Amino acid sequence: MSASLTMIGQRTQAAGWDFSVWTVLKWAVAICLTVVAVFPIVWMVNVVFAEPGVPVSINPRLVPTSFSHGVEKIRMIFTETPYLRAYYVSIAYSLLTIAGVLIVGSMAAFEFALFEFPGKRPMFAVVMLSLMVPSAVTLIPRYLLTADLGWLNTMQGLVVPGLASAFGLFMLIQFMKSIPKEMIEAARLDGASHFQIYLHVALPLSKNALVTLAILTFMQTWGNFIWPLIVAPSPQLYTVGQVVGLFNAPFSHVTVDVVMAANLLAALPPLIFFLLFQRKIVEGIAMSGTKG
């Protein structure tokens, strides 16, 4: 077998193709792993776009079989369950968090990266130390504080406690450090105020880092399960994650295909984001990993 493969390899290499055992094996493994990685997601789509109630022995859901039934399920979820509302909540939660993290973080990063002022070093040290504190320790007291503020079941309760992102600050500082001091001096000589320099010089120059941070924050907020679960337990403020949890709860009397339709709707925004911003996401993660 391997001998004949190498022979084919020798013959075809001339044509620019490499069919050695090693290469064939490599491709086989890569394709199998792709199936393992992607199939559960594809399977979710197949279950949604299939005629409901047909047993798996007849239709094993290996490919989508009925477009109209899938659309019908999605329509049903949007009209007969609180899903649409949860979608609004999750989108508002994500957008407000992104806006807050970027504004608050970039203002502080601008100062930490480019200027000297009293208290800079201790403040920076404390924020960086906080990166090492596990979120488990702050979770309960942070919840109790939010409750004391009367913010349970409110949008500010969801958003505000998560805005001071030490990771975001660190990432923006790393990036803003490379802004040349001369540009800031030049702007100052032109009569720009401190805030104008931040707005018109520093922010435009950090566009790349801001976009990457925005994407990572979106992924994280959209997928945040534990904080909405405790802070916004009222159905009025259910996020997509909580609604998916409800669909999924045992004895919820919802069939698999409807649950999968709910899952698919929750997966769409991050999947679309990933397809659009693939490079930025991968670079952002690689950057936080190799520099951190």
Partner 1 sequence: MIEKKHIPHLLMVFPFMALFAVFFLYPIVSGLIYSFHDWNATTQMRFVGLGNYERIIASRDFKKAMWNLGTYIVITVPLGIAVSFCLALLVDSFKGFWSNFFRSAFFMPVVLPMFLAATIWRWIYTPNIGLLNTIRGWFGLESVQFLNDTSTMLYSLIAVDVWVSAGFNMVIILAGLKNIPKHYYEAARLDGASKLQEVFYVTIPMLYPVLFFVTTYGVISALQVFDTPWLLTGSSFSDYGGRQNALLFPVMDMMGRGFGELKFGQASAYGFLLTAVIVVVTAGMFAFRRKGYDA
Alpha helices (runs of H) in 81-225, residue ranges in sequence order:
83-114, 120-130, 135-148, 155-159, 166-176, 181-189, 194-197, 203-205, 207-222
Closest by CA position to 101, among listed 222, 224, 228, 217 = 217
Comparison of 183 and 271: residue with beta carbon closer to partner 1? 271
Amino acid at 110: F
- Minimum CB separation from partner 1 for residue 274, in Å? 4
Comparison of 32 and 84: residue with beta carbon closer to partner 1? 32
- Minimum CB separation from partner 1 for residue 67, in Å? 21
Structure tokens at 262: 């709910």
Comparison of 47 and 237: residue with beta carbon closer to partner 1? 47
- Minimum CB separation from partner 1 for residue 35, in Å? 9
Comparison of 24 and 163: residue with beta carbon closer to partner 1? 163
Closest by CA position to 93, among listed 269, 265, 286 = 269
- Minimum CB separation from partner 1 for residue 68, in Å? 23
Comparison of 69 and 114: residue with beta carbon closer to partner 1? 114
- Minimum CB separation from partner 1 for residue 195, in Å? 7
Closest by CA position to 169, among listed 213, 115, 118 = 213
Calpha distance 108→206 (Å, rounded): 13
Calpha distance 277→96 (Å, rounded): 20
Comparison of 78 and 273: residue with beta carbon closer to partner 1? 273
- Minimum CB separation from partner 1 for residue 128, in Å? 11
- Minimum CB separation from partner 1 for residue 191, in Å? 15
Residues whose CB is less than 8 angstroms from the CB of residue 44 and which lie 6 or more positions away in sequence, other chains included: 260, 263, 264, 267
**Side-chain half-sphere CA neighbours of 126 within 13 A:** 5
Amino acid at 279: R
Distances (CA, A) of 225 to 150, 183, 278: 21, 43, 23
Residue for token pair 């050695």: 20
Comparison of 8 and 163: residue with beta carbon closer to partner 1? 163
